[in-house]
Structures are given as structure tokens and as C-alpha cells.
Amino acid sequence: MHAAFFLLLAASLTRYLIRHPGSPHTVWIVALSAVLGLLYAFGPAMGSRPTLRRLLWLGAEVAVWVVLVVLAPSFGWCAVPLFYTGLRTLPPRAALSLAALLTTFMVVAQQRLVSGLDPNLLIAPPAVAALAIAVFVHMDRQATRQQALIADLVRTRRDLAATERREGMLAERQRLAMDIHDTLAQGLSSQRMLFQAAERIWDTDPATARGHLRAAAGIAEHNLAEARRFVHDLAPADLNEGGSLPAALRLLAARESTEKLTVRCRVEGTETELPARVESALLRIAQGALANVREHSGAHTAQLTLTHLGDLVALDVADDGRGFDPASVPTAGMRGHGLPAINARVRQLGGTLTIESAPGEGTVLSAAIPLENP
């Protein structure tokens, strides 16, 4: 629109100079054209809000144009860009009133160029004015809709980001809760049992009682290492100590073995390097499963079996305890500890959890993790 204004201004000035060479008004026409061009060029610096300064600028621009049209009616077509200036500056009713006045003045000025009444000059200016106003109104509405759409998209993206942050926080809290349950809480439970056992036999069997205290101290040392790694968000302590999942499972089996419970570990298949996330989850699953064995099963032996099946890795935890009815323990759709926590870890890795048990027949817990989606 700016380019169209200056093009119309230059064309009108050129037409006047060609049609009226040596006219006494030439100096005024050239000067007023320059003033009108400068006023139009300074328009963007006035801003778009209808301030007093912008209204004065618009009034001066219209006044210079009116004088130009009086002296040279061919400058009347420069009013088309002025329609847009008025529509951008004034309220709708005031802008339409200004456009109607400019159009009327342009029609009257154009009639001076011909002798008699020219229907084309009566119809063309109002038609052009109406088209220019319609285009502006349509563009303004489209711009308003686009701004509203962009605002909605920005707000939606902000809401999605907030939702993702909340879900991430909840997931991290659940992960920490499961980690604490499978390590620190179980370790504290084991220490309490050892302290109680030591207290009962302290007077009758001091040597065994001291052995219980040493075992409790070892568990406390391991829990301290776990707590420090929680702070730094590192891998489980057994993985750092053992260097691999099979070695970490063997360390876990040795630590969980007591006078009443013997835990063995076996690795089958060709060992492959597993993603750190899978190794950490399988170790936590083994810790949680053995904690359940120790506290609830009354078993004498337990077996950890890690099986590499190429695109699948499976961990089985079997015991010869009293068993239970798996249908009575919800493992899906819950947030909690024990079996629900184990099931949550498996589902996070896209795996499956299977529990085979019956009262009096022991329990086999099997977690299978696909390696394509670690």
C-alpha cells in the first residue's frame, strides 16, 4: 500500500507537469506533493494508536491532499491509500465517515476534468473506495483471527508444557518411592529384624548376637551408599560395585542370604550389554521381589535367574515359600509398592510381568523386557 501511494503520487505529479507545462501553480503542486509524501513517509513513526499526535498528522495529510486536489484533480486517486490510513487510525464509524467524505470530494474533483456529467467518474471512485474498504476489513478480521489462533496455540502449548512437567514430577516421585521401598525401606526392615534377633539372644548367645549386629551394620553401609546415589541420581549401588547386572545380582543374592533363607543366582544365555535403564530396573525388581520373599513367603530358598534371549531379557525370581493366590493381589493400574511397584517398572519398559503361585506351592515371578524398546 505504501508503494502504491508513492506510485500514484508520482504518476499524478508527472501527469500534471505534462498536461500543464509552465503553469503558475507548478511550484505549489511540486511543493505540496513533496509535503504530502513526507507526511505519509513519517506515518509509521506516529504509531498505530489514535493518539492526539497521530490524529493531527492524519488531519494535516488530508488537508494537504485536499489542497492538491483543488489545484490538480488528478491527485484524487491518492485518496485510496489514505482510506487505509484512516481505517487504521480512527474508530470504525469515524473512519467510514472520512472515507465517504474523501470519496465525495474525489468525485467532485474528477468531474472538473471533463465537460458534462461522466457516469464513469460517478461510479468508479465509490466502487474503488468500497473495494478498498472491504479488502481492509477482510484483512483486519483475518489478522484478528490469526492473532486469536496464535494466542490459543501459545496458551495450549504452555498448558501442555505444564502438564508434561506435572506428569514428569509425578513419575519421578513414583520412581523415587519405588527405589526407596526396594532399597532403603527394605534395608531398614532387615536391620530392625536383626536388632530384634540380637536383643533376644544377647545374653544366651553373644557371638551370634554380635554377628547379627555386624550384618545390620553391613546393611546400613549399603543403604548409605544407595542414599548417596539417590542424591546424585546415579545407578544402583550394586551395579557400580559389580560393574554388570549379573555381578550385581550375585552381590544381591549373597547379601540377602541368611541362616533362614538361601538365595542363589544363575545366568543363562549369551550375555549381552543391556541399556543402563534396563539393568537398573531389573536390579530394582530383583530387590523388591526378594524383599517380598523375605517378609511374606517364609521360604527357605530363592533363585534368581537372568536369561538372555537375544531381543528379550527375562528375570525370574522363584521361592519355595507358602505361596498365594495371584488373583488376590492387584498389580496393574495401581500406584504403590511391592508387586504394584514391580509391575510399574516392567510396564515403563514395555515388558510383561507374570506371577505363578498357589497356596503352599511357592511362587515364581517373571519379568520379560524387550530390548527393541529399552
The pLDDT tens digits for 42-98 are 876 666 666 788 788 888 888 888 888 888 887 877 777 777 777 777 777 887 888
CATH of residue 327: 3.30.565.10
Is the residue at 211 inside a domain? no
Considering the domain boundaries, does residue 172 fall inside one? Answer: no
Nearest Cα to 326, choosing from 354, 350, 304? 354
Last residue of a domain, one of 117, 143, 165: 117
State residue 224 phi and psi, 5-degree precision: -65, -40
In a domain, 206, yes or no: no
What is the chain's mean pLDDT, rounded? 82
pLDDT below 70 — which residues of the chain?
44-50, 113-118, 120-121, 172, 229-243, 329-337, 373-374
Per-residue pLDDT reduced to its tens digit, 290-312 = 988 888 888 999 999 999 988 89
74: DSSP letter: G
Closest by CA position to 33, among listed 9, 61, 60? 9
End-to-end CA distance of the chain: 59
Tell me if 339 is assigned to some domain: yes
Cell of 44: 509509521
Q: What is the pLDDT of residue 318?
A: 94
In whole angstroms, give the CA distance from residue 182 to residue 292. 10
- Residue 291: closest CA among 299, 53, 125: 299
142 burial via Cβ count (<10 Å: 0-12, 13-18, 19+): exposed
Asked which of 94, 117, 140 is the last residue of a domain, the reply is: 117
Domain coverage including residue 325: 244-374
343 inside domain: yes
Residue that terminates a domain, selected from 64, 93, 117: 117
Q: What is the pLDDT of residue 333?
A: 42
Q: Is residue 41, in this structure, part of any structural domain at all?
A: yes
In a domain, 106, yes or no: yes
Taking the model in full, what pTM does it have?
0.44
Query: Does residue 299 lie within any of the structural domains?
Result: yes
Total number of domains constituting the chain = 2
Tell me what percent of the chain is helix, strand and coil, each rounded to the nearest 5.
Answer: 70, 10, 20
pLDDT of residue 335: 41
